[in-house]
Structure 1
């Protein structure tokens, strides 16, 4: 007899809790592999659990340990679905066909697809999903999302971002859409990336790799680089990790997450800055930036300026 879906989700959450504590335990990894092979629902449940786990606020570790324990217990006791809804306002996608969903500025959401895949949407993101017998197609119209793809060789998982296409079967990766180009970061497995402008040219990205693909030229000029997903995808926990980013670029990043907007005076824009910040702490970032560069802050209603 097959387990009840809630029992499957609770078991997946328990595996993820143990894996977080001992990520290099070979025996545990083997046990998880065996559990995934027992039932076709198990791999998808594990991916959903990992997506929810990645959204647990790292600030709780440093400042609110009891809150973190309570939320982590909720993952196991109440099931992944309930924890996701409580943590980040999950958007449930139950039926196949076209389904649209979006996030507002500063909002993150978890979307569970009917095939068992999970999408974590970043700020100001709009996407559409179509699930058919032949393909799982996601159109990322704007913004950024991380995809944990349930394994299904019969139905490729293809994300469209402008003219760029990213194809996977069972893996995890992030896609960020810009005007005229797309960034792809792979956290697990492998994906194929190409542009409709030149579909015969493609690049294959493994876990830990990052690429920027232009709509116009496709992969002809793409440079594949190493990346640290814990840094580049820190937004899944509501964080921004700045590791030598210019002050101008950092301000642009903060503006994605806040209705209050920050600008930087031109002479300061190329200064390098490091630090860890909450995405919603634009005032804290402005104060730190001013302190690091010897600048000052000007305030005008919804606007902040860092000036010499």
Structure 2
């Protein structure tokens, strides 16, 4: 079959298969054989990947549905199905039926609008459904959902600069890693790499929480302040930024390293790379690096760094470039 000659039944079959794979890949008992079969199915036709990505977006919305309360009458459920899987089905129905969608919105369960944005090779400027402006750095992926009681962004990866439309009664929440940032109207930047998150506030104020499972509103940032947190942090670390701070240089297409130790610089570099750079040991991480780099050309960083620092590059078993220190020359007698 080709994309131009699909019948309605064939298209429905692809949608059903995408829903099946979305549920199986999120199941705790999903096997390696099933994951391999999914990859083969996804690569068999362009529409397979397209429909699966669309199903993932519905799954993201369903993630925020409340868990069903125990009832006296319990419907028969198929073995192996979780509440999350039924939430996906419920969200599909609710998004499809105007009355159910209105009910879900009114109860604060479902958004009345949902958007997905991604930037790959270029910085991208987008407008969210509430009018807020967002600038996406390279390799950035986020979603926006507008709920009755809050506006919600999930930063899945990368970095974004937000100019949030002011709405005191409709707070703007950014979820990044295990924490969140809560605002009503302000300008701020959120950077994320693996489990590390950094928030830089330019204007207004935000509340930063390092773990959404903890009680409380978090710590408040004022202008020219930043917060950092990572997996397992009870509270974010707060510090002051200064006039020469270069955190937002990416908006001009630059990454500026101001005499940083390699163990601090690599997370800033690696989020742009296809294969992240590794350190041979902790001593290598203390070597300092500086310079101004074009963010679109950072994949060549591994080949450039031996020209600037006393290091050489090897590859580990996974194909990642590894930075090694040059052996010390013995003193001449």
Q: Same fold (TM over 0.5)?
A: yes
RMSD (CA atoms): 3.1
Q: Determine whether 1:227 maps to 2:241.
A: yes
CA distance in 1 between partners of 2:264 and 2:139 (Å): 18
- Identify the residue that residue 115 of structure 1 maps to in structure 2: 130
Task: Give the superposition deviation at 1:164.
Answer: 1.2
Query: Which has the greater radius of gyration?
Result: 2
CA distance in 2 between partners of 1:150 and 1:172 (Å): 9
CA distance in 2 between partners of 1:134 and 1:269 (Å): 45
Task: Give the superposition deviation at 1:133.
Answer: 4.3
CA displacement, residues 229-280 of structure 1 (integer Å, 9 cap, x when unaligned): 8511212222111112222443443332233654554453320112111113
Asked if the contact 1:171/1:190 (under 8 Å) is kept, the reply is yes
The residue correspondences of 1:174-213 to structure 2 (distance < 5 A) are 174-194=189-209, 195-200=211-216, 202-213=218-229
User: When the two structures are aligned, how many residues end up with a matched partner?
Assistant: 210
The residue correspondences of 1:1-308 to structure 2 (distance < 5 A) are 97-104=113-120, 106-194=121-209, 195-200=211-216, 202-214=218-230, 216-219=232-235, 222-228=236-242, 230-259=245-274, 262-266=277-281, 267-282=283-298, 285-286=301-302, 289-296=305-312, 306-307=323-324, 308=326
Structure with the larger helix share: 1
Change (3 A) 1:299 1:150: same
Asked if the contact 2:159/2:192 (under 8 Å) is kept, the reply is yes
Tell me the TM-score normalised to structure 1 length. 0.58
In structure 1, stretches of 5+ residues that fail to align are: 1-94
Select the structure with the greater relative contact order (CA < 8 A; seq sep ≥ 6): 1
Tell me the TM-score normalised to structure 2 length. 0.54
